[in-house]
Chains A and B, each alone.
Chain A
Amino acid sequence: MISKTRENLIEKGLFITAIFSIIAILLIITFIFREGIPILQDYGVINFIFGMDWAPSDGKYGVFTMIVGSICITLLSLAIAVPLSILCAIFMAEVAPEIMRKILKPVIETLAAIPSVVYGFFGLIVLVPYVRTNIGGTGFGMLTAALILTVMIMPTIISVSEDAIRSVPLEYKEASLALGATHWQTIRKVIFPAAIPGIITSIILGMGRAIGETLAVIMVAGNVTQIPSSILDPVRALTSNIALEMGYATGLHYSALFGTAIILFALIMVLLVVANYFHYKKKVVIGGGYL
């Protein structure tokens, strides 16, 4: 009887902890929408999303340039980070000797633990002048932001991909090798395809971090509200817009920043749906189960 009550209590406790994240996200969504709805009503959804001008002091609240900015920075950083990270993960999981892996793993984890303001400051005093003198432009821009983000998201992609590659059953590898395939052929044709769903998950996580990163991007992206014509042009990300002006905003401007958050939210949702679609499409089905 007592054990039954106890069992029940533990169940309830677990239930509460489990439901906590749902409550949190519902509260956040409710709050963002409640604060952001006025701008969508007063300014118009189309004007808000596709407006090219952002000048709160003149009553102009178009976020299109920032949507483009966020997407460009994120895609550029993924384009650099994904190949590097996946190759690094393959190296760590399949090729590297144990000693090498023991050094690499903590180093990469440290990279993930560095606060973003430190990355931003590093970008501001090292990367910005470097890009300006060696590549061109003012140094503040999409490329610099993407480079900083690349370093920030690589640890996530590497760790999760490596776990995915390591969790491919050893039998697959053995079977492939037994058929006479070389190690590289086995990696390319057997292990990598089997690990694809996990690798896609790692990319989703990295993408989430890239699109949500605020501080480091503010410090190096230049924060100009314009459609970039080259990768050296300064851009403003949606997150930067919120963080830059939140301290001062009132009235419709305040609401417009929450409107920006709604757009960011929708953008992340779309990206998650797309990523999940590929995740399920690439699933390897074996005898009723899948990896």
Chain B
Amino acid sequence: MDVKPRNILIIIIIIALAYFMIKPGSDYERIEIAGSTSVQPVAEKLAEEYMKDHPDVRINVQGGGSGMGIRTAQQGVVDIGTSSKALKPDERDGLKEYVIGKDGIVIAVNHQNPVNDLTTEQLRDIFSGKIRNWKEVGGPDAEIHVIVREEGSGTRSSFKSLVMKDEKIRSDAIVQGSTESVKQAIKSDPYAVGFVSMAHMSSDVKALEVNGITPSETTVADGSYPLVVPFEFITKGEPVGVVKDFIDWVFSPEGQAIIRSQKVVPAIANVSDDT
């Protein structure tokens, strides 16, 4: 059968119809939130509770990574960008940062591992590949299986800037695509070590002390635990209307209680003074 112009026309009409069927309508006030995958669960919970009290507001929370959160907030594509790292000075231009909470990065090992404490220097050497055997840090004579997150993960980039400084993570480290699979991998391997965010920590794996400090809500809140990441909301300029109302609500006792329920350490309302 020949392709006639009429057939092509029919196809175009069908595609156009499909497009109009899929296009969303809108009767609500909408808040678009996107960014860090570490902040995402907290933001989702906050959105859910906020929408219960404000049925006329629809909040849509997406992941994408801290970089995307900063970029889309800058471009005005989203109302609130989320980030699990503080903005660099050159990224700050016209943006407002709200630290809604703090999370710790926990160094996790298998429960059978006798090692309890590592220094940040030892961590750097382990993850860069200088230390390759557990006996060098007081453990059994066994090869260290390093498990990391994929390039771009919020936890990975926080870990890199907090621990690795200028060193590179060893290129033959096992890469896992989610916190949960990192934990599963460590749970089943007595010689594995990895990092997970404190919000996702569970008793499946053992948390190590870093520089002698146990990761806990107190040590994260007072900053004595060395591996702390801020959870930030980022807006372009001063927020207005429903977005402002939502952010104010997040910093209210009610909002902070929800943040706490997500195992994130709440922050006192502190807005950066960059603009």
The residues of A with any CB-CB pair to B shorter than 8 Å are 12, 15-16, 19, 23, 55-57, 121, 124-125, 128-129, 132, 138-140, 218-219, 222-226, 234, 236, 243-245, 247-250
Known contacts A12-B10, A16-B10, A128-B188; A248 and B67 CB within 8 A of each other:
yes
Answer whether residue B238 sits at the interface, using C-beta atoms and an 8 A cutoff: no
Size category, B interface: 20 to 34
B70 CB → nearest A CB, Å = 10
Contact of A16 among B14, B150, B188, B192 (CB under 8 A): B14
Chain A residues whose C-beta falls within 8 Å of the C-beta of B188 in the assembled complex: 124-125, 128-129, 132, 139
Pairs of residues from A and B, 4 with the lowest C-beta to C-beta distance, nearest first: A248-B152, A223-B175, A248-B65, A244-B150
B122 CB → nearest A CB, Å = 21
Known contacts A56-B151, A125-B184; A139 and B11 CB within 8 A of each other:
no
Chain B residues whose C-beta falls within 8 Å of the C-beta of A243 in the assembled complex: 177
CA distance A258 to B177 in the complex (A): 19
Binding stretch for chain A, among B99-107, B166-174, B242-250, B252-260? B166-174
Chain A residues whose C-beta falls within 8 Å of the C-beta of B176 in the assembled complex: 219, 223
Known contacts A138-B145, A248-B65, A248-B67; A124 and B189 CB within 8 A of each other:
no
CA distance A225 to B174 in the complex (A): 10
A263 CB → nearest B CB, Å = 18
Are the C-beta atoms of A139 and B189 separated by less than 8 Å? yes
CA distance A128 to B186 in the complex (A): 11
Known contacts A23-B11, A219-B177, A224-B173; A250 and B71 CB within 8 A of each other:
yes
Most buried by A among B10, B67, B150: B150
Contact of B171 among A139, A224, A244, A249 (CB under 8 A): A224
Are the C-beta atoms of A225 and B68 separated by less than 8 Å? no
CA distance A248 to B68 in the complex (A): 7
CA distance A248 to B38 in the complex (A): 13
Are the C-beta atoms of B175 and A249 separated by less than 8 Å? no
Are the C-beta atoms of B189 and A129 separated by less than 8 Å? yes
Are the C-beta atoms of A245 and B10 separated by less than 8 Å? no
CA distance A219 to B71 in the complex (A): 29
Contacting A at CB under 8 A, from B175-205, are 175-177, 181, 184-185, 188-189, 192
Chain B residues whose C-beta falls within 8 Å of the C-beta of A250 in the assembled complex: 67-68, 71
Known contacts A248-B152, A250-B68; A140 and B174 CB within 8 A of each other:
yes
Are the C-beta atoms of A124 and B181 separated by less than 8 Å? yes
Most buried by B among A12, A129, A244: A244
Give the nearest-CB partner of A57 in chain B: B151
Give the nearest-CB partner of A224 in chain B: B172
Give the nearest-CB partner of A141 in chain B: B174
Are the C-beta atoms of A225 and B152 separated by less than 8 Å? no
Are the C-beta atoms of A222 and B174 separated by less than 8 Å? yes
Answer whether residue B7 sits at the interface, using C-beta atoms and an 8 A cutoff: yes
Question: Besides the contacts A121-B184, A224-B174, what 13 more A-B pairs have beta carbons closer than 8 Å?
Answer: A16-B7, A55-B151, A128-B189, A222-B174, A223-B175, A224-B172, A224-B173, A234-B174, A243-B177, A245-B152, A247-B68, A248-B68, A248-B152
